[in-house]
Amino acid sequence: MDSIKVEVADHFPKSISIGGEKYGVGSFLNPGENHIFGYMMRERATQRGMDLGSEIGERFWENRKEIPKIFEGSSFSFPGWKEHPSCEEIAHMFHNGEEWCLIWVPIKNRYWLKNHLGIYKIS
């Protein structure tokens, strides 16, 4: 079971550590899908990766909203995250009566060049 820890700064996810490995994070808002927490580049967090995540996040974050501080100090686990062959539900979180779902999305197209984790509001 790999532990997930999320570093938050100014209500935004800044980095994710999975099993001791740190990754850079970018975020954006897609109101049509309630997709609040954007993506995680599947590579070690380099400065270039962090800069790229910030650039993409700022580009898409036109209707900026405060992300609930559901990540701050949170830690939960899921097994075999690297082995998921398709979109998979990984874990559930509850915050202020709302249900959130962590999804592994191995998507590669013109917009998403890296696999990513998304946290979706589902209730």
Per domain, the residue ranges of the chain are 2-121
- The runs of H, that is alpha helices, within the chain are 47-60
Give the model's pLDDT for residue 101. Answer: 53
Q: Is 117 exposed, middle or buried (0-12, 13-18, 19+ CB in 10 A)?
A: buried
Largest separation between any pair of C-alpha atoms in the chain: 37
- Tens-level pLDDT at each residue, the chain (123 residues): 345 555 655 544 556 565 565 655 544 433 333 333 434 443 333 444 445 444 444 443 333 333 333 333 343 333 343 444 444 444 555 555 555 555 544 444 444 434 444 544 444
Give the model's pLDDT for residue 53. Answer: 47
Give the model's pLDDT for residue 96. Answer: 54
- For residue 7, what are the contacts with CB-CB under 8 A and spacing of at least 6? 13, 14, 15, 16, 17
- For residue 10, what are the contacts with CB-CB under 8 A and spacing of at least 6? none
Give the model's pLDDT for residue 33. Answer: 38
Give whole-number Cα distances, 2 to 57, 65, 94, in Å: 26, 30, 20
Please say whether the beta carbons of 116 and 109 come within 8 A.
no
